[in-house]
Amino acid sequence: MQKGLSPDVRSRLVTMLVEAIEETAKLAKTSRKRVTPGGGGISRKERWYQLMGYLAQVLDGVLKNLDLDGVKVKMDQIEATLDELQRTTQTPG
């Protein structure tokens, strides 16, 4: 009963995001700092870094969800174990 992305899809997404961040960093390093007309007052370099920041935030969210899913699975296992222990150690009262 897992919600969200399957582990395989999540793994591919993480890989794609990391590659996109690396490519964006390369593009940012080679871009000019000069603001071009019609660019909204922001240089291409700043735009690439802005995109890189956004991609990093998305990656962080995916990784946090992965951690949260792992915690939920472990909690379910612990609860099942506790239920089993309580059931098997109950004494007639």
pLDDT above 70 (res 13): yes
pLDDT above 90 (res 22): yes
Q: How many CB atoms lie within 10 A of CB 55?
A: 20
Residue 66 confidence (pLDDT)? 74
Residue 2 confidence (pLDDT)? 45
DSSP code of residue 83: H
- 59-72 confidence digits (pLDDT tens): 998 888 777 777 88
pTM of the model: 0.68
Which residue in 29, 31, 22, 30 sits closest to 59, CA to CA?
A: 22
pLDDT above 90 (res 51): yes
Q: What percent of the chain has pLDDT over 70?
A: 90
